[in-house]
Amino acid sequence: MKTNLVWILVFQTLLGIAQTPILIIPKGHTEGVTSSCFSEQGNYILTGSKDFTAKLWDRAGKEIQTYRLNNEIQSVAISPDEKMVLIGSTDGKVTLFKLTGEVIKILSDH
């Protein structure tokens, strides 16, 4: 039985039907996701992470924007009109961004 298995593996390799290794470059957060939300109209997903970033994605999973802060992200929200995002971090600050990444306002001690 073991001999048959060895021959099967040899023939698969010779015929090129064995699996070929593929390099996959990971995308997205480099650490755990702590918060996520969908926009009200369903066009966007916003995720926050321990890697000090929040990321805006379209429905197909394409990354649109990265918002960088100085601490871990605790909570995220998208405005109903899909023009702003609100991000709360572990340093007690809430940061309001335009969808494009421009900071509108930072609130302390949330």
Q: How far is residue 87's CA from residue 94's CA, in Å, rounded to a whole number? A: 6
**β-bridge mates for residue 75, sequence order:** 88
Burial letters 68-80, b for 16+ CB under 10 A, else e: ebeebbbbbbbee
pTM of this structure:
0.73
**What pLDDT score was predicted for residue 29?**
86
pLDDT of 14 over the 60 cut = no
20 three-class SS: coil
Q: How far is residue 52's CA from residue 39's CA, in Å, rounded to a whole number? A: 21
Name the band, by pLDDT with cuts 50, 70 and 90, for residue 2: low
